[in-house]
Structure 1
Amino acid sequence: MRGVAPPARIAPDVVIDVEGLSKSFGGHKVVDGLSMRVERGQIYGFLGPNGSGKTTTIRMLCGLLTPDAGHGTCLGMDIRTEARRIRAHVGYMTQRFSLYEDLTVEENLHFVARLYGVPQPERVAQETLEKLGLGGRGGQLAGSLSGGWKQRLALCACILPGPDLLLLDEPTAGVDPKARREFWTQIHDLAASGLTVLVSTHYMDEAERCHEIAYIAYGKLLTRGTVQEVISRSGLVTWTVTAQGMESRVAGLALARLTRELELCEGVNMVAPFGTALHVCGHDEAALEAAIAPYRHAPGLLWKRAASSLEDVFIDLMNRSRDNMQ
């Protein structure tokens, strides 16, 4: 963190523009030839399984790690040679709450404001609290806040110095759905004011709130674009099957048996349970329909052709990815 406020600057239209980023640890390539481009004011979702390289990529973008290979810019500055300058204009919210739990909400923000050399720190801290709905909790100890309020306080601390780019590393893990929805309303408000947001998440509903998304698995970027572009580009065909007229236990057993059988069929790339139904997916439409044909008129099973969901696409991508850390 800097000790004095940086000079005012105008963020470029392209905030992140990197090519071929790679990083290895202990002989394992954690990020492998990753390229991405994020425009100003976008909310860019960064998705992938645990250990896929998302956090490592975020740290390279904000100057906390130097890539082994590749090049690019963040906020118009070179990620290799201007890392210190980049960090002065980036707000980074980590997965774990990193403020002082034995200080009050106000004391934490006063500390952050002074650390960043923000003029009139008390006034700016209070304005930031009011902006994110924490005005009435200024005297409360940070450690006594619920998960959702801690998350909101952490976001306050990130935006208080006025960054041009906000990096959020799985910010809503362990937070209830209501708090997550409120958090995303705040993120959209910030993006509408011109702040660029790169957010990593495991939640599909959060991915669908992003302007664009990218999916990374075991260091490799597999797909990117809007949600609809990613789904369309996957070429995935999906059928749903639901057990009808059975007790819950019997229906569960029937679907479990059907899952085992379908997974052995040629043309079926994935069978995934979704509540009381199965999603049966494949990339070859004719082969998939031939595989499910013997089960289409089985008693107690209702089949429907369905649009592939983002979760269908991501599970399929994960199933087809090779874990290079094994």
Structure 2
Amino acid sequence: MTSEIVIDVHGLTKKFDGRAVVRDLSMQVKRGTIYGFLGPNGSGKTTTIRMLCGLLTPDEGTGTCLGFDIRTETDKIKPRVGYMTQRFSLYEDLSVRENLEFIGRIYGLARPREAARAAIERLGLKGREDQLAHELSGGWKQRLALGACTLPSPQLLLLDEPTAGVDPKARRDFWNEIHALAAEGLTVLVSTHYMDEAERCHEIAYIAYGELMVHGTVEHVIEGSHLSTYIVSGTDGHALAALADELAHTPGIDMVAPFGTSLHVSGRDRAKLDAAIAPFHSEGFDWKPSHPSLEDVFIDLMGRARDNFQ
């Protein structure tokens, strides 16, 4: 393994109560990469992330994280990893400054006050140092949590749906900071349901019910889907809904999804798709060819995935 490969795992499998939550997963992550994990709820994203960094022992498979064995050297991996969960996990009755100084002492930093002050400055928390954590909005809590998990200068950062419940501006500010950290060499693994966030990752992986279905850059994943897409619009909402239902049961059409006042209609075989939609062109709807979006690919993959709980 070269120093540029932070995570290198092969054949990871994890079972709970006899059911495989992650099955035969192999992947590599390069240093300084923002690597996004997408997939339905319960698909194994969090379990995967925890195995990749040694926080959870796989039942099968091998690999390294930060150059250390994920089975036998977890005690060397954990101090080098920052973990930000979806749920705010700092002390609500402590101030911003007190939380950061406390975290600094837990990690044994030589100057916890100075480290906390630097984090407050970097994350735009200046002026809120003495505000209690429970008084912060979701976006400010998010910044505080990010400051806490990056305080000890980890080499790997894990973010488990970190922006759930915060406004779009706070999400954008958060991602600007993540990109700044990655530019300095920090590797980031993040699970998300937001397509705009996935598009800001250097690479993404789609995990459905324990299986890694696709991975690569956003462009690679979209191109590899082989989807052809049409956008269908019309002024009659009821007629559009009825059309969506009919198209969903038409051979040659693999995905139909409403987007506002239009439909996205996609197929993996362009010739079959064109033949399938031809009879509907005369029904008063406007059909326009379009490039498939990441969300189109996401919905198509969800429809093809096999639920391991059934």
Bin for the TM-score computed over the shorter chain: over 0.9
Q: In structure 2, what is the Cα distance between the partners aligned to 1:261 and 1:42?
A: 43
SS of corresponding position for 1:267: coil
- How far residue 76 of structure 1 moved from its aligned partner, in angstroms, is 0.5
TM-superposed CA distance for 1:285, in Å, is 1.0
Equivalent residue number for residue 66 of structure 1: 57
Q: Please, which runs of 5 or more residues in structure 1 have no aligned partner?
A: 1-10
> Would you say 1:76 and 2:48 are equivalent positions?
no
The number of equivalent residue pairs is: 309
Cα distance in 2 for residues equivalent to 1:54 and 1:263: 29
In structure 1, the residue matched to 2:159 is 168
Q: Give the deviation of 1:12 after TM superposition.
A: 2.6
Equivalent position amino acid for 1:257 in 2: A
Query: How many Å apart are 1:286 and its aligned residue?
Result: 1.1
1:137 matched to which residue of 2? 128
| Aligned AA (1:305) | P
- Counterpart amino acid of residue 276 in structure 2: A
Report the TM-score, using the length of structure 2 for normalisation: 0.98
1:283 is aligned with what amino acid? Answer: R
Moved over 3 A (4+): none
**How does 1:95-174 map onto structure 2 within 5 Å?**
95-174=86-165
| Equivalent residue, structure 1, for 2:287 | 303
Q: 1:268 aligns with which of 253, 271, 279?
A: 253
Distance 1:315 1:76 in 2: 36
**How far apart in 2 are the matches of 1:149 and 1:210?**
22
5 Å matches for 1:286-301? 286-299=271-284, 301=285
What residue is the counterpart of 2:307 in the other structure? 323
Give the Å deviation of 1:279. Answer: 0.5
- 1-side partners of 2:127 and 2:13: how far apart? 45
Letter of the aligned partner of 2:206 in structure 1? Y
TM-score (norm 1): 0.93
Q: Does 1:259 align with 2:250?
A: no
- Offset of 1:263 from its aligned partner? 1.2
Shift in Å, 1:63: 2.0
Instruction: State the SS of the aligned residue for 1:136.
Output: coil
Query: C-alpha distance in 1, partners of 2:160/2:193?
Result: 10
SS of 1:88's equivalent in the other structure is helix
Equivalent-residue separation in structure 2 for 1:143 and 1:76 (angstroms): 38
SS at match of 1:107: helix
The reply on whether 1:228 has 2:212 as its aligned counterpart is: no
Give the structure 1 partner of residue 173 of structure 2: 182
Q: For the residues of structure 2 that align with 1:62 and 1:285, how far apart are their CA atoms?
A: 41
| Residues 26-81 of structure 1 deviation map (CA, whole Å, 9 limit, x = unaligned) | 11100001111110111111111100101111111222211000010100100000
Given the alignment, which residue of 288, 309, 314 partners 2:298?
Answer: 314
SS of 1:103's equivalent?
coil
* Paired amino acid for 2:16: F
Give SS of 1:137's match: coil
- Root-mean-square deviation (CA, aligned residues, Å) is 0.9
Task: Indicate the SS of the match to 2:127.
Answer: helix
Kindly state the Cα deviation for residue 252 of structure 1 after the two structures are TM-superposed: 1.4
Aligned partner of 1:278 in structure 2 is: 263
Counterpart residue type for residue 207 of structure 1: A
Question: Which residue in 2 is equivalent to 1:194?
Answer: 185
Tell me the distance in 2 between the aligned counterparts of 1:306 and 1:297: 19
**Amino acid aligned to 2:269:** D
